[in-house]
Amino acid sequence: MKIEVKKLPRGQAEITIELTAEEYQPFLKQAAQNISQGTKIPGFRPGKADLEIVKKHVGENQVWQEALESAIRKTFVAAIDQEKLLTVGSPQIDVIKLAPGNPVIYKATVSLLPKIKLADYTEIKIKTKPLEIKKTEMEKRLSDLQKMRAKESLVDRGAKKGDKVEIDFETFLDKVPIDHGAQEKFPIVIGEGTFIPGFEDQLIGLKKEETKNFELKFPAEYHQKSLAGKLASFKVKVNSVFQLDLPELNDDFAKGLGQFKTIKDVEEKIAENLKTDLENQEARRLEEELIDKIIAKSSFEDIPDLLINSEAKKMVEELEHNLSHQGVKLTDYLSHLKKTQEEMLLDFAPQATRRVKSALILREVVQKENINVSDEELDGEIHKVLATYGNSPEASQELHRPEYQDYLRNALLTQKAVDRLKSIMVEK
């Protein structure tokens, strides 16, 4: 078998493979057997006619064509193993020559897993930041608990700060209604700042059935870019006004939450949760910083478009999943941004490239540090996941599939690599 490898731009390679007629012979014999199995040949049982008989019956060209797929499948794998190439995705195959009695030549265009020159991460240091639980955050969590237990009373008076109002509203730009800019029976608590600045203030003093027209400018950094910084007109009708009576923050309130005896117990639990949140945030920050610093000091071969596009598509899928939990469709979100999905993929390309580089670095760290995941560790993790599904037989069957075990093993390897880097790079 003759193999010729030519490197192409953008992380690709062209592999030309040539098989002599003799090397192709075993594939012809197997192809003849397959044809004989499915074709009635007089005087022979299915699968029993030899190569020469089958060639005479169906034609030599058909036998050579039939043998091609299995020949490519086997010789392509042998070629990349021999050349020590690490490929990603499926190859693009172009047959150059296929004629009875002649060498078989085909070309495979592949994307290569980029090689990297890994930075000496033992020389890179990052520092932790002190964790500080802010008093304002404690107060906000307590206030949120209060509001969850607030008593609502329908009142016949003008709305004031702290009241909940139910409104219908419409939004206009240059007197034209904006898409999805109208809502009916929309609840809003005046003073919570859930709407754009100034909107809630316009509701103060309005009674049931009263309407009001006013103008406000959307913030310059508003998430919906088509509205950012624009002056909009609003038409609002108040359907009802509710007075919210907040319970006093005392021991009786704590007992009403079901698992506490005193308000101090509640405050301690909130502090514990805030500390856990801060620790998780700091862990994510450290991970991002150490990866970014290693990326900056490492060098990478060309990254194939295939890897970047695949990662960008994953990011769009993640966005779609997160939006669905908020009751928003991806198509509506893109419509708000006035973008196509293709434009969104392009926007994600820089971050997708960073994620690919991160994965390449962690793969190198796993090899360099001889990190592995034992079968016992894998089984233990599967049992943890299974417990979240109530140990159902269906979940057990799914979690024990080889594909899931490969995914989980890779996830555990990645986490171990991150932990190893933290132990080396993070200064306490």
CATH number of 263-427: 1.10.3120.10
- What is the DSSP-derived secondary structure letter of residue 17? E
174 or 166: which leads in pLDDT: 166
39 or 77: which leads in pLDDT: 77
Which range among 30-39, 75-84, 327-336 has the greatest average pLDDT?
Answer: 75-84
Q: How confident is the model at residue 47 (pLDDT cuts 50, 70, 90)?
A: low
Helix (H, G, I), strand (E, B) or coil at 63: helix
Residue 196 above 80 pLDDT? yes
Q: For residue 336, what pLDDT is reported?
A: 74
* Model pLDDT for residues 338-365, shown as the tens digit of each residue: 889 999 999 999 999 999 999 999 999 9
Residue 223 above 80 pLDDT? no
- Class of the domain covering 2-113: alpha beta
Cβ-based neighbour number of residue 269 at 10 Å: 15
Residue 186 above 70 pLDDT? yes
Within 8 A by CB and 6+ apart from 25, the residues are none
Element (H, E) at 379: helix 375-388
* Model pLDDT for residues 201-212, shown as the tens digit of each residue: 999 999 999 999
Residue 244 above 90 pLDDT? yes
Helix (H, G, I), strand (E, B) or coil at 388: helix
Percent of the chain residues past pLDDT 70, beyond the cut:
98
* Model pLDDT for residues 301-325, shown as the tens digit of each residue: 999 999 999 999 999 999 999 888 8
Q: Could you say which architecture CATH assigns to the domain 150-245?
A: Roll (3.10)
Q: For residue 43, what pLDDT is reported?
A: 63
H helices present in 1-118, as ranges:
21-38, 51-58, 60-82
Percent of the chain residues past pLDDT 90, beyond the cut:
70
Q: How confident is the model at residue 105 (pLDDT cuts 50, 70, 90)?
A: very high
Ordered by start, the domain boundaries in the chain are 2-113, 150-245, 263-427
Element (H, E) at 107: strand 104-112
58 or 174: which leads in pLDDT: 174
Mean pLDDT of 267-274: 94
Lowest mean pLDDT among 70-74, 179-183, 313-317, 373-377: 179-183
Residue 24 above 90 pLDDT? yes
Q: Which of 4, 9, 23, 1 is nearest to 107 (CA)?
A: 4
Q: For residue 337, what pLDDT is reported?
A: 77
Q: In what order do the strands lie in the sheet with 87-97?
A: 2-8, 12-19, 104-112, 87-97
Residue 394 above 70 pLDDT? yes
* Model pLDDT for residues 415-428, shown as the tens digit of each residue: 999 999 999 999 87
Length of the chain: 428
Alpha carbon distances (Å) from 32 to 38, 44, 72, 102, 223:
10, 13, 17, 18, 64
Q: What is the residue-averaged pLDDT of the chain?
A: 91
